[in-house]
Every structure is written in structure tokens, then in C-alpha cells.
């Protein structure tokens, strides 16, 4: 992988870089610039979603950059309002048209929306879309073990990845253990705890100082050592480069324990509990 970024192998054989690039809220020509600069910095995994309304921006950035399609991995996500099978298939096609791509490398169900209870049907649609070559690898976001168990029981297949809210204020230890036991790779959204004071935390500042690093680098290294793929977002070229420069140092056991001690049981940033939260 470019830039000596380590990789992770998914249970379907797909290989992903250990850090990706989040594109949430990057839109229009400024968004294209930011994503092009991220590709320049060495990011090879781009994360978008139907509901971010920027799949076209991501596709345009890839096109303008000129990087070959084989060198870049693109993730998008199915919104809750299109979980019914046929709607899901049409939405995946629409997703691809927006981005100007022939396939997505990874396509995820954005939220389980358990009250609607169509997520198994949505999963079946992803299985079909993969069979037809629209997507290469399939996964989910924000699924709790009970939701994952149902996918397995009713379709016989587990996701390759589950993208969940994960940062030092909410380290998801039990969920990560479940993933590990079931061959699912963990991916972290809001890895740097956006909208919180995480990056100003004195404990993290102290660890950063000891290593001669920024707090962001410490937190992203923590994700890496937890075996989770973080997808930090930044529109600043300098920060984009900095967020990838985490593979030439290591946090010791004491550092990891200190960072893990920051977790709190209700540490979700916006109280989006997948057991009840619905996203359309």
C-alpha cells in the first residue's frame, strides 16, 4: 500500500489500508480539492455515504486526480429509507451513477434501524449487488451483536466490517471483542471525537508530549493498536499528512491503558444508540 501504510485483510480476502479518509461534509469544488489533496498525501481508502450527498464530489476528485481506479478503494453506505430489497438495489445503482464509478469496493448499511426491521432484507440486497458486480465487499455500520447475529442466522453471512462510533471517550471494548471473535474488522467513525474537547484533554497532551507527537497522532495510533481502521477527516493538507504519520512510533502498554481509562459508558457524541436510533 502507498506510503508504507500497513494493511488489514478482510475475511473475504479484500485488503484495506489501516487508515482511511473520511469525507463527511466535504462538498463542491472545495470538497474536490480536499479529497484530491488527501489522495496526494497517500490516502487510498475514501469513505462516503449516500446521505452525505457528496458521492459525486468523491468521484470527481478521483477523476480529476487521475489516480487509476485499481489504486483507490471507495466506500459508500445505504440510507435507512431504502432498506427494502428493490429500493436498496436501485439506491446502490444511483450511488454509483452519482460517483461515476462502475463498482464500490466496500458498501455498508449505514444504520440497522431496528424499529423498521428491514436490515436483513437490506443485507440480502447487498449480497445480490455483490453477486452482480456492483460492489466488491459488503459490511455494515453501527450494528450491535444482536443485529449481526440475525444477519448470520438468516443469510449465513457476516459482514467483513462494522463501522462504529469509536474514540477514547467511547472505546467499545465489548463490541470490538465480539468483532474479533467473529472475524469482523472494526472501523472507527469520529475517531478524533469531533464536537468534543477530546483533543484538548490534558492526559492525551501529556502522552503526545512524551512522544513528540500531536494529540491527533496519539489518538490515531491508539486506534491502530486497537486493530481498528480509523477514518479521520481533514480538509487541511498539513493535517492530512500528519494523520498518516503514525506508523513510526508505538504507544506502550501504560499509554494504551491511560487512553482506555478515558472511556465512559454514555460516551456517544450525539447519543446515537443503534438499539433505538433511526436514520433515514
Kindly give, in sequence order, each residue whose CB lies less than 8 Å from that of residue 25, ignoring residues fewer than 6 positions away: 52, 54, 233
Q: What is the 3-state secondary structure (H, E, C) of the chain?
A: CHHHCCEEECCCCCEEECECEECCCCCHHHHHHHHHHHHHHCCCEEECCHHHCCHHHHHHHHHHHCCCHHHCEEEEEECHHHCCHHHHHHHHHHHHHHHCCCCEEEEEECCCCCCCCCHHHHHHHHHHHHHCCCEEEEEEECCCHHHHHHHHHHHCCCCCEEEEECECCECCHHHHHHHHHCCCEEEEECCCCCCCCHHHCHHHHHHHHHHCCCHHHHHHHHHHHCCEEECCCCCCHHHHHHHHCCCCCCCCHHHHHHHHCCCCCCCCCCCCCCCCCCCC
Please provide the distance, in angstroms rounded to a whole number, between the alpha carbons at the two ends of the chain.
35
CB 255 within 8 A of CB 207: yes
Out of 24, 43, 50, 52, which one is annotated catalytic?
52
Please report, for residues 113, 134, 220, 260, the alpha-carbon distance to residue 20 in angstroms, rounded to integers and kept in the order given: 25, 21, 11, 22
Q: Is 52 a catalytic residue?
A: yes
Active site residues: 52
Amino acid at each position: 500500500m502507498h506510503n508504507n501504510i500497513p494493511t488489514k485483510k478482510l475475511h473475504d480476502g479484500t485488503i484495506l489500508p489501516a487508515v482511511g479518509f473520511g469525507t463527511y461534509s466535504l462538498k463542491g469544488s472545495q470538497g474536490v480539492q480536499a479529497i484530491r489533496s488527501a489522495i496526494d498525501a497517500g490516502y487510498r481508502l475514501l469513505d462516503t455515504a449516500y446521505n452525505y450527498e457528496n458521492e459525486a464530489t468523491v468521484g470527481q476528485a478521483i477523476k480529476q486526480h487521475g489516480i487509476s481506479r485499481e489504486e483507490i478503494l471507495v466506500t459508500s453506505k445505504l440510507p435507512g429509507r431504502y432498506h427494502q430489497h428493490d429500493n436498496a438495489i436501485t439506491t446502490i445503482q444511483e450511488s454509483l451513477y452519482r460517483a461515476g464509478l462502475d463498482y464500490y469496493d466496500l458498501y455498508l448499511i449505514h444504520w440497522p434501524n431496528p424499529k423498521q426491521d428491514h436490515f436483513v432484507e437490506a443485507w440480502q440486497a447487498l449480497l445480490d449487488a455483490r453477486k452482480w458486480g456492483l460492489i466488491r465487499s459488503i459490511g455494515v455500520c453501527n450494528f450491535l451483536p444482536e443485529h449481526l447475529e440475525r444477519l448470520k442466522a438468516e443469510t449465513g453471512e457476516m459482514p467483513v466490517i462494522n463501522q462504529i462510533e469509536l474514540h477514547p471517550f467511547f472505546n467499545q471494548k465489548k463490541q470490538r471483542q465480539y468483532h474479533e471473535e467473529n472475524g469482523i474488522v472494526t472501523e472507527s467513525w469520529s475517531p478524533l471525537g469531533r464536537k468534543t474537547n477530546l483533543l484538548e484533554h490534558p492526559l492525551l497532551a501529556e502522552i503526545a508530549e512524551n512522544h513528540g507527537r500531536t494529540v491527533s497522532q496519539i489518538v490515531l495510533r491508539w486506534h491502530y493498536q486497537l486493530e481498528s481502521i480509523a477514518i479521520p477527516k481533514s480538509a487541511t493538507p498539513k493535517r492530512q499528512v500528519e494523520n498518516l504519520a503514525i506508523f513510526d512510533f508505538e504507544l506502550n502498554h501504560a499509554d494504551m491503558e491511560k487512553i482506555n481509562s478515558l472511556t465512559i459508558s454514555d460516551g456517544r457524541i450525539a447519543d446515537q444508540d443503534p438499539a433505538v436510533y433511526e436514520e433515514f
